[in-house]
Amino acid sequence: MKGLLRVMSPFAPDQSGAASVFYDMNAITVICDAGGCTGNVCGFDEPRWQKNARPIFSAGLRDMDAILGRDDRLVDKLRLVSDKSDADFAAIIGTPVPAVIATDFKALKKMASKRCGIPVVTCECTGTNLYDKGEEMAYLELMKTFTRDMDVCEGRVGVLGATPLNFSDIEADKLIRKHYMEEGFSEVLVYGMGDGLDSVRMAASCEMNIVVSASGLAPARWLKKNYGTPYRVECPFAGEAAAKAAGVLKHSKVLIVHEQVAANSLRDAMEDCDVTVATFFTLDKNIANEGDVLVETEAQFIELVENGGYDAVICDELLRRAVKDGTYGIWINRRHFAVSGNLEEGLCEL
Amino acid sequence: MNKQDAFYITARDLADGGIEGVPSELKSQDHLIYSSPAALSFNSPGAQGFGVKRAGLAVPGSVMLLVAPACCGRNTTMLAELGSYADRFYYLLQDDTDIITGRHLNRISQAVKDVADFHEESTGTRPNVVMICITCVDALLGTDMDRVCRKASEYAGLPVLPCYMYALEREGRVPPMTAVRRTVYQLLEPREKKSTTVNLLGHFAPLNDDSEIYELLRGIGVKKINEISRCEDFDEYLGMAEANFNIILNPESRLAAEDIAKRLEIPSVELTRMYRIDKIRKQYQLFAGAIGAKIDDSKFYDEAAAKVEAFARENKGKRVAIGECMNADSFELALAMSEYGLTVTEIYGTVSAERMPYIKMLAELSPETRIYTNLEPSMLYYDSSELPCDLTIGIDAGYYHPDAPNVPWNLEVQPWGYNGLIRLIEEIEGVL
């Protein structure tokens, strides 16, 4: 049955992805919910929160707010916070409640910007989609609202798609910066991790963008279309991870189940293996190989693993629960925080 | 963000203003809810204890089908890693069309049957009941869950009950944790009463084994004391219907007790967890009077009194900050600590009409005590250096004063009565 999970747990939802992008942006982030979604975002999907809490708020919606559509009350509450804050902007993120009552986010954005006197961005998340959709929506909303035409600055590179949900590491941005500085860039802007709104404002000045996870594809394309910025798609560190796997998996038939860009990069580095990439998240046809799989149900995943004839499966170890333990070859853990909610101890670990 | 001060009000000013004068900053409906680690248990009760999903599985042999958008089940990944819950959570995820049209309702009966069959196949045991947990979406759609559960029950051939995780109604007439406390007793059916059996209602984990309440109840002739969390199997759970009376230990169980009284004709009496030793004694006396028995608690009282006396002597004047994420009422505990000679500098709590009597007494003893709420946006600017303390009680208080010794006091096994007081003092002594 579609949507029925008997052995797996739900993955990080779109509102968690959107909140993750805004986390380091000096924003007032308001999750338009009754409280539970905020609890999930902060208490489970945002690993930076325990160490470094940010101004994230729940709208604290109650039944009559939803039934009567009292957006004005939400704006009043936001103003109480924004009046005393030097945040660069406010971000309002949707959840199932506004989705059910069909909140007009465009109107909400306009009304809140006017009343609060600061820029407001909105992400029409529904809680039914996955985190990468929320990240994509947040990047696009930021770029469309704040990025302005600028001269290209040689040596400056933008990184799209770096969040703890993708990289399972709260300091991935540092490693990413180091990686691309060593490659020869003089300035690395990691949107949403470590870099604030200024990086978004000057996104058009990058000589190149690097898409490190699938959520960065759409904003990279938007930046290319509007400002001509070229981009390339790759997940750094995959080579080292693959090298570790290589000793075990020579000439094997391998299934990699992960976020698409990470999985692709791992495959690229495992030249002597026959690798299929599968993902529960975005499968962009433009960067997929023939035979790559978009997994839409738990049953499909089980079928793929049990009957695919793979010698090895590389994925977050939580997914192993779905199949009969130990029956289907070698399992190698490649953390994916959006799946298990567990952090990687080191990015290159397998 | 700009530096500003976190909002607080002194106990004196709060008491002077009365419940009508409670400032807007202390009313959660008047502002955005700040999400800090100290507020996590408000936003997501299940993150650090029993929320609706975990509570709904209190019935032995139950499994849960969460019918919701994926986001509502996300933190259940954490629960699924706990041994006793690993095979008990199932999900029927709603998509965009479902949450608008309600078409998911047509799939629930089949999903319940699939889940029951799968559970039987994988564990060798058919579930005793399938709990269907629904969320804000169905609250807004106005789903008639009683009907949905009846239909699913007929189709799957086993009991099916609704658990309402309606965060939108947390301050309504029947908040989610009140509703789930009623739900978990709904499978009880009338049985012949046994005068020597009593149920303790209110918690999803048992009281400490050495709580005096067990001995005191046995002392008045009670032979069987039921707690849902101690029921080894479904038969033992069903045996709760034989109780002569229920003791409510948490106000959120009042509705459950009313329901049980109506359906099973079991009356109830309510007791309150307190830390003021004289009030504990007084409550036992009143309880004895209410049930027409005589309770001799002097052994326990004397032990606790000696402990309190030594504690007060040793710790007089020590500054303590008290939170609300713990097994105590913030204001009652603050009052107790003040009576024992400590200086309560700060309370992070939720003001309500029921708590005003404590606040008024506290204002007499400790008028300068600062009262904050974890949920107010200005808590973003809370600065612990303004008013240092020697001790914090509650995990939220520990969050605000990370350098002070902390007693989290939030274990799942529940403290009670004199024994709870002694345990708390021993924990405090352990960290000071």
The verdict on a CB contact (< 8 Å) between B44 and A87 is no
Note whether A314 and A269 are within 8 A (CB). no
Is the model's pLDDT at B63 over the cut of 50?
yes
| Helices A217-227 + A131-146 axis angle, to 10 | 20
Average pLDDT, chain B: 95
**What pLDDT does A327 receive?**
61
| Helices B176-183 + B254-264 axis angle, to 10 | 30
Least trusted range by pLDDT, from A98-102, A256-260, B164-168, B325-329: B164-168
For A100, which residue in chain B has the nearest alpha carbon? B100
Please give the average per-residue pLDDT across B180-201, as a whole number: 97
Task: Output A348 or B318, whichever has higher pLDDT.
Answer: B318
Which residues of chain B are within 8 Å of residue A59 when distances are taken between CB atoms? 32-33
Query: What are chain A's domains?
Result: 14-144 (3.40.50.1980), 147-233 (3.40.50.1980), 239-340 (3.40.50.1980)
The verdict on a CB contact (< 8 Å) between A99 and B99 is yes
Q: Which residues have CB under 8 Å from A340's CB, separation 6+?
A: A316, A317, A318, B77
Structure tokens at B232: 């080894």
Which residues of chain B are within 8 Å of residue A5 when distances are taken between CB atoms? 90-93
Q: How far apart are CA A271 and CA A251, in angstroms?
A: 9
* Residue among A2, A4, A116, A335 with most chain B CBs within 10 A, to mutate: A4
CATH superfamily of B197-271: Nitrogenase molybdenum iron protein domain (3.40.50.1980)
Question: Which region holds residue A164: left if phi is over 0, alpha if psi is between -120 and 50, else beta?
Answer: alpha
- If one counts every other C-beta atom within 10 angstroms of the C-beta of residue B174, the result is 12
Which residues of chain B are within 8 Å of residue A128 when distances are taken between CB atoms? 69-71, 93-96, 98-99
Which residues of chain A are within 8 Å of residue B37 when distances are taken between CB atoms? 49-50, 53
- In percent, the amount of chain B with pLDDT more than 70 equals 98
Please give the average per-residue pLDDT across B344-357, as a whole number: 97
Handedness of CA A200, A201, A202, A203 (dihedral sign): positive
> For B261-293, what is each residue's pLDDT tens digit?
999 999 999 999 999 999 999 999 999 999 999
Q: Which residues have CB under 8 Å from A88's CB, separation 6+?
A: A25, A26, A27, A118, A119, A196, A197
Is the model's pLDDT at B192 over the cut of 60?
yes
Question: What's the Cα-to-Cα distance from A6 to each of A16, B23, B108, B118, B161, rounded to whole Å?
Answer: 23, 48, 14, 8, 19
Q: Nearest 5 degrees, angle CA B46-CA B73-CA B93?
A: 155
| Cut 0.90: pTM above it | yes
Query: Strand runs (DSSP E) across A116-186, as ranges?
Result: 120-123, 153-160
Q: Predicted ipTM?
A: 0.93
Which residues of chain A are within 8 Å of residue B96 when distances are taken between CB atoms? 99, 126, 128-129
Q: How far apart are CA B34 and CA B46, in angstroms?
A: 18
Tokens 């991870």 locate to: A241
Please give the average per-residue pLDDT across B24-48, as a whole number: 88
CATH superfamily of B45-183: Nitrogenase molybdenum iron protein domain (3.40.50.1980)
The verdict on a CB contact (< 8 Å) between B43 and A100 is no
Tally the residues of chain B.
432
The verdict on a CB contact (< 8 Å) between B70 and A127 is yes
The two domains B9-31+297-431 and B197-271 share their CATH topology (first three levels equal): yes
Note whether A100 and B100 are within 8 A (CB). yes
| Helices B277-291 + B417-431 axis angle, to 10 | 160
The amino acid occupying position A282 is: T
**What pLDDT does A350 receive?**
37
- Closest CB from A13, A37, A44 relative to B78: A44
**What pLDDT does B87 receive?**
87
**What pLDDT does A326 receive?**
56
- Domain B9-31+297-431, CATH class in plain words: alpha beta
First-residue to last-residue Cα distance in chain A? 33
The verdict on a CB contact (< 8 Å) between B96 and A128 is yes
350 residues of chain A, pLDDT tens digit each? 889 999 999 999 999 999 999 999 999 999 999 999 999 999 999 999 988 889 999 999 998 998 898 999 999 999 999 999 999 999 999 999 999 999 999 999 999 999 999 999 999 999 999 999 999 999 999 999 999 999 999 999 999 999 999 999 999 999 999 999 999 999 999 998 999 999 999 999 999 999 999 999 999 999 999 999 999 999 997 777 776 776 777 788 999 999 999 999 999 988 889 999 999 999 999 999 999 999 999 999 999 998 899 999 999 988 988 887 656 678 888 899 999 999 876 443 33
Sequence ranges of the domains in chain B: 9-31+297-431, 45-183, 197-271
Which residues of chain B are within 8 Å of residue A96 when distances are taken between CB atoms? 68-69, 71-72, 94, 99, 135-137
**What pLDDT does B40 receive?**
86
Angstroms from A142 CA to nearest CA on chain B:
19
> pLDDT band at residue B407, thresholds of 50, 70 and 90?
very high
DSSP-derived letter for residue B415 is P
Which residues of chain A are within 8 Å of residue B172 when distances are taken between CB atoms? 62-63
Q: How far apart are CA A187 and CA A177, in angstroms?
A: 8
> pLDDT band at residue B50, thresholds of 50, 70 and 90?
confident
* Residue among A15, A28, A44, A323 with most chain B CBs within 10 A, to mutate: A44
Least trusted range by pLDDT, from B74-78, B94-98, B111-115, B311-315: B74-78
For B44, which residue in chain A has the nearest alpha carbon? A39
